[in-house]
């Protein structure tokens, strides 16, 4: 347990921020799952926005966001090829 008052405050801040970050990550994962379940190109922009925002807030790294966007766009391309 923290002893100094500044360490106690840091612990309180970390707990609050952890809860907020967990909610944000859960929302990001839910957005991606919804998109994968219902592959439509209109939903791709929403997923891109969510990934860019998560990378900006340092929830995920920039390269991970880029990698996920690339993989999701490949899924769309595959589904379009399969339909036609």
Structural domains in the chain, CATH included, are 5-83 (1.20.58.110)
pTM: 0.83
Q: What is the pLDDT of residue 82?
A: 76
Distances in Å between the Cα of 22 and the Cα atoms of 15, 19, 42, 53, 73 are 11, 5, 27, 15, 26
Question: What is the tens place of the pLDDT at every residue in 40-61?
Answer: 878 899 999 999 999 999 999 9
Q: What is the mean pLDDT of residues 26-33?
A: 95
Q: Cα 31 vs. chain centroid, distance in angstroms?
A: 8
Taking alpha carbons only, the member of 76, 69, 71 closest to residue 39 is 76
Q: What is the pLDDT of residue 42?
A: 81
Q: What is the pLDDT of residue 41?
A: 78
Q: What is the mean pLDDT of residues 47-76?
A: 95
């Amino acid at each position: 347990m923290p002893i100094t008052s500044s360490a106690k405050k840091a612990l309180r801040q970390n707990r609050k921020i952890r809860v907020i970050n967990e909610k944000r990550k859960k929302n990001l994962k839910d957005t991606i799952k919804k998109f994968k379940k219902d592959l439509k190109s209109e939903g791709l922009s929403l997923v891109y926005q969510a990934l860019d925002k998560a990378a900006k807030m340092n929830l995920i790294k920039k390269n991970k966001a880029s990698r996920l966007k690339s993989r999701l766009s490949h899924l769309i391309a595959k589904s379009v090829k399969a339909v036609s």
